[in-house]
Structure formats: C-alpha cells, structure tokens
Amino acid sequence: MTTKKERAEIIGKRLDELYPTVDVPLEHKDAYTLLIAVLLSAQCTDKRVNAVTPALFAAADTPAKMVRLGQEKIRKLIETCGLANNKSKAIFELSKMLIAEHGGNVPKSFQGLEKLPGVGHKTASVIMAQAFGAPAFPVDTHIHRLAQRWKLTSGKNVVQTETDLKKLFPPGRWNKLHIQLILYGREYCSARGCDGTKCPLCRELFSDRKTPVKTKK
C-alpha cells in the first residue's frame, strides 16, 4: 500500500505529463475581469461564463464602468449564467467597494478580497494565485472529489481538503496543480464518469480497488 506522499508524487508526475502547461480556463485580461469571471462561475460552467463575459466586458471592464452600467443591465447580460440576481448585485456592490476603498484596484490580499461582496475563500484563492502569483490552492468540487478518491484527505469538507493537499505538495506547485487537477477531474475522473475505479490514475493508484468510492460533500 502506497503512502499519501508516494501517491502525491505519482499524481504530480502524471499530471505534468498530461498537462505540461496550463492556462486559466476563464477568459480575462486583468485581475478585475478575472474576479468577475470567477464570481460568475459559481454553479455555472466555464464554457457558459466564457460565452457571457465578452459582451459584459465590452460594456464594462473596469469597476467604474460596471457601476455606471448599473445592476439591472449587468443582470440582463449575465442572466444565462444562473443566479443572475445575486451575481449582478455582488458585481455591482463589489465594484463600488473597489472604487471607494481600493482606488478601483483589486486588493492583493486574502483579507481584502474576502471582504468583497460575493467573494469567498475559494474565489479569493483563485485571484491570489492566478492574478497575483501568490501560492494558493483553491479547492473546487473536482479537486475535493479527486482528493477523496485518491485518499489524500479525509474529505470532511473543502477546508480540510485544502489543508491536507497543502501539506502534500510544495507551495511552488499549488497554482499550476489546482488547474491540472480541475482539468483531470473534468476529462478523466468526473462525478459520473468514474467512481474511483475506472480512470487511469484511480486504476494506477488503487489497482486492487473493487468498491466505488463515495464522495463526502
């Protein structure tokens, strides 16, 4: 039986083979547009977000322009993303806060980001990692599922999963690795496409496993 550390090394090697270079799957041009795209991605596919943001950013790609656009026009432009009422309010309010408290700039700290309307720890982690290059390990449902299937975490919640993964992988790997894991989870080890026994890494790591793994939320 392999240890967590041994499995982590195998996973890192295989993911580097599959995805030697990675890009943020959400289209953006700066920290602000990435922040808006990540906020829109809640309970919405990246493909749908990328279909919506060109028109939104053509109308408003800065906090000042977004405030001038107004909440109702924002809502109409993003309505196909789902949760449009909540998301449009968050986008409008956080844009006002960025102007009032940060000179129109996206704050470069977890504390500053997490005070913004609609921005939780995962969203803040994505911005810190992908916009500012700070070591962060955003854990979404794909990563939470994979970490449990590969026995890298107890899987009690995403907070525990983030803590456990940070112990297994060096900080210099976090920013790239979280995207690699998301890509692998979508392509090979999805919620329905694999049950912990079917995808290449599940089979390599647990060749004797016969029972499906039940994911804890």
23 included as an active-site residue = no
Q: What is the pLDDT of residues 174-198, one digit of tens each?
A: 999 999 999 999 999 998 999 999 9
> Rounded to whole angstroms, how far apart are CA atoms 200 and 153?
20
Q: What does the pLDDT read at residue 43? A: 87
Contact call for residues 87 and 95 (beta carbons, < 8 A): no
Please give, one letter per residue, the 3-state secondary structure of 153-193: CCCCCHHHHHHHHHHHCCHHHHHHHHHHHHHHHHHCCCCCC
Q: What does the pLDDT read at residue 140? A: 85
Q: Which of 16, 46, 61, 140 is catalytic?
A: 140
140 included as an active-site residue = yes
Q: What does the pLDDT read at residue 142? A: 84
Q: What does the pLDDT read at residue 141? A: 83
Please count the other Cβ atoms lying within 10 Å of the Cβ belonging to residue 147: 25
User: What are the structural domains of the chain?
Assistant: 4-22+137-205 (1.10.1670.10), 31-130 (1.10.340.30)
The whole-model pTM stands at: 0.89
Q: Which parts of the chain register pLDDT below 70?
A: 1
Q: What is the pLDDT of residues 43-61, one digit of tens each?
A: 899 999 999 999 999 999 9
Q: Which amino acid is at 178?
A: H
> Rounded to whole angstroms, how far apart are CA atoms 205 and 15?
13
